[in-house]
Chains A and B, each alone.
Chain A
Amino acid sequence: MREFTHMEATTIEEASKNARKGNAMVIAGGTDLLGTLKDEILPVYPSVIIDLKTIKDLDKIEEEKDQIIIGALAKLADVADSQVARTNCQALAEACGKVASPTIRNMATLGGNICQMHRCWYFRTPDDRFHCGRKGGNTCPAYNGDNRYHSIFGQQNGCVAASSHDTAPALIALGAVIVTSSRAVLAEEFFAANGFRSCVLEDGEIVTHIRVPKSKKSVFEKFALRKSIDFPIVNCAAAYGADGTVRVAMGGVFPAPLRIKAAEAAVAGGITESTAKKAGDDAVADCTPLSGTAYKVEIARTMVKRTLLRLEGER
């Protein structure tokens, strides 16, 4: 890694103020950021790294009336093992337990997982070798290159990378609200191809905690090539809302994780084998796969069906 100065923040305000100035980045678990810096995949390199782990009380998992409040610095392993999370937002606990490897889950935070940069092998080639649209270039090398792990729902802001956050579909299905240092954003509006970020955060904006409404039942399913240390090909979460309706969200199919309203409509009358199958078909009805991603359509179709059947089966 090239040199930078490490700075310990004591409050969110201080961290946010300093992160806005000049060339600074914030670090929580560091599992995504340090790899990014080692490979120098971005055209910019920070001169200051602001440590958020020194801010107190940001890693709590608390129950409050009809919602669960999870601090952005809560470790993924802690969320996965938390009894509060397992009972009230099972999909999120399951998703946190399926990210990367047990060791990484001991280090990585929930806030970091939703703010991580997307996984596209052109974007992440060391030394900014493919200066793609997300980094300020003109072209997307994935259109004509090998795009087997990319989007099946077309592009967003010129990018066809697939979202890779495991916790994101769970948060969207559960209708979570992500609270930052300056505002509160609904989870389904939080993720987007936004420069080299994969979320709508602006300079100096820091996720502080996540409010997850309680759900009587929610599940998460992940399809990846390896059981451990792998990003999803497709992941899917489904949850019962407070009013009894089913919400479905899918990741790995678009630059941002998507809420699949077509699938929700298909199971509005109840989940059976046939409505779940129809939900899967409807979910991918208007997809536009790239040259290498046609196989992902079938995986996505099955994942929606499988997730919904599991939601019904374990109710």
Chain B
Amino acid sequence: MNGKVSRRDFLKAGGAGLAGVALSTLGIGTILGSETTAGDAQAAPGQELMYVCPVCGEKAEDFDGLRKHFKEKHPELESPKNMVLRINGADVGVYVEDHWTLRETLLRAVGLTGNAKEMCDRGGCGSCTVLIDGKPALACTTLAVECRGREIETSEGIAADPAYRPLVEAYVKYDASQCGYCTPGQFTVAKYILNKYPDPTEDQIRTELSGNICRCGTYSRHVQAIQEAAAAMKGGKS
């Protein structure tokens, strides 16, 4: 060890640590949110505790009973899950809870922070856009468990790809990221545009980027940057 820890390594370790803590403290107690229900009910004495299986309606005596029933009768429903996500061309083993969005998973379990910052978190701004199977999708409005077996690509992966070096350079040249908050989302859609249109017009770029909101108003710079990148990449290929 040279004693140096890179930012990414640190984040990765942080993510793993967080996942580990969550795993040990929550265990499988997160099944159906019943732990929360139990806590609420205890806070209100006199209220009868109900442990009813939401899938088959069977009653259990206590939370442990419900947990046992669930493990036996509905093994496919158990939460949390350890699963493999294919992110930026690599298979990443992650710990995922059923209610985690892809954005949360990228941030907590994988440590990729570019597209995974918490922005509007409601699918309204487009800053968390990632490519799922080559198409732009909002990471904040996609459940991580639904991404199994799908190809996920984030801005980090695109920036590291030598083929898209001209795009990064064009973004730097035109300062298309002012504060940089929305840039990962715009940058991800930029790759999609370059794949879809080899020679994109301003109209096409503006239409495809219309789901990404930028408070700094860098819209025209994205057009310039993407068009220049398209020209550079075409030149390089031929």
Establish whether residues B137 and A103, one from each chain, have CB atoms under 8 Å apart when the complex forms.
yes
Question: Contact check: which of B32, B143, B208, B212 meets A34 at CB < 8 Å?
Answer: B143
Establish whether residues A51 and B138, one from each chain, have CB atoms under 8 Å apart when the complex forms.
no
Establish whether residues A3 and B99, one from each chain, have CB atoms under 8 Å apart when the complex forms.
yes
Residues of B contacting A87 with CB < 8 Å? Answer: none
Residues of B contacting A38 with CB < 8 Å? Answer: 121-122
Establish whether residues B138 and A103, one from each chain, have CB atoms under 8 Å apart when the complex forms.
yes
Instruction: Verify if A27 is at the interface (C-beta below 8 Å from B).
Output: yes
0 or 1 for each of B175-202: is its CB under 8 Å from A? (1 = yes):
0000000000000010000000000000
Instruction: Verify if A157 is at the interface (C-beta below 8 Å from B).
Output: no
The number of chain B residues with a CB under 8 A from chain A is: 44
Whether A228 touches B211, Cβ cut-off 8 Å, given contacts A3-B79, A5-B77, A22-B57, is: yes
Which of B33, B124, B145 neighbours the largest number of chain A CB atoms within 10 Å of its CB?
B33
0 or 1 for each of B113-154: is its CB under 8 Å from A? (1 = yes):
000000001111010010000011110111101100000000
Instruction: Verify if B30 is at the interface (C-beta below 8 Å from A).
Output: yes
Establish whether residues A102 and B79, one from each chain, have CB atoms under 8 Å apart when the complex forms.
no
Whether A7 touches B138, Cβ cut-off 8 Å, given contacts A21-B57, A51-B146, A102-B207, is: no
Residues of B contacting A103 with CB < 8 Å? Answer: 126, 129, 136-138, 189, 211-212
Chain A residues 1 to 54 lying within 8 A of chain B, measured CB to CB, are 1-8, 18, 21-24, 27, 30-31, 34-35, 38-39, 45, 47-49, 51, 53
Q: Nearest Cβ in chain A — how far from B186, in angstroms? A: 11
Chain B residues 90 to 119 lying within 8 A of chain A, measured CB to CB, are 97-99, 101
Establish whether residues B211 and A7, one from each chain, have CB atoms under 8 Å apart when the complex forms.
no
Given contacts A21-B56, A48-B54, could you give 14 more A-B pairs where the C-beta distance is less than 8 Å? Answer: A3-B33, A4-B33, A5-B79, A6-B98, A8-B76, A21-B55, A24-B55, A31-B141, A34-B101, A48-B77, A102-B208, A103-B129, A104-B211, A227-B210
| Residues of A in contact with B (beta carbons under 8 Å apart) | 1-8, 18, 21-24, 27, 30-31, 34-35, 38-39, 45, 47-49, 51, 53, 100-104, 106-107, 227-229
Determine the distance from Cα of A38 to Cα of B212 in the docked complex, in whole angstroms.
Answer: 21
Residues of B contacting A4 with CB < 8 Å? Answer: 32-33, 98-99
Whether A3 touches B143, Cβ cut-off 8 Å, given contacts A22-B52, A101-B211, is: no
Establish whether residues B142 and A229, one from each chain, have CB atoms under 8 Å apart when the complex forms.
no
Question: Contact check: which of A35, A51, A228 meets B210 at CB < 8 Å?
Answer: A228
Question: Contact check: which of B143, B207, B208 meets A6 at CB < 8 Å?
Answer: B143
Establish whether residues A24 and B54, one from each chain, have CB atoms under 8 Å apart when the complex forms.
yes
Determine the distance from Cα of A3 to Cα of B78 in the docked complex, in whole angstroms.
Answer: 12
Determine the main DSSP class of B at the interface with A.
Answer: mixed
The 9 closest A-B pairs by CB, nearest first: A101-B211, A228-B210, A22-B54, A6-B98, A3-B33, A103-B211, A47-B54, A47-B32, A103-B136
Establish whether residues B98 and A5, one from each chain, have CB atoms under 8 Å apart when the complex forms.
yes
Whether A34 touches B141, Cβ cut-off 8 Å, given contacts A48-B54, A101-B211, A103-B129, is: yes
A-B contact pairs, 22 of them (CB 8 A): A2-B33, A3-B35, A8-B76, A18-B55, A21-B56, A22-B53, A22-B57, A30-B141, A35-B122, A35-B123, A48-B55, A49-B98, A49-B143, A101-B211, A101-B212, A102-B207, A103-B136, A103-B212, A104-B138, A106-B135, A228-B210, A229-B126
0 or 1 for each of B197-226: is its CB under 8 Å from A? (1 = yes):
000000000011011110000000000000
Which of B31, B36, B143 neighbours the largest number of chain A CB atoms within 10 Å of its CB?
B143
Establish whether residues A30 and B136, one from each chain, have CB atoms under 8 Å apart when the complex forms.
no
Q: Nearest Cβ in chain B — how far from A101, in angstroms? A: 3
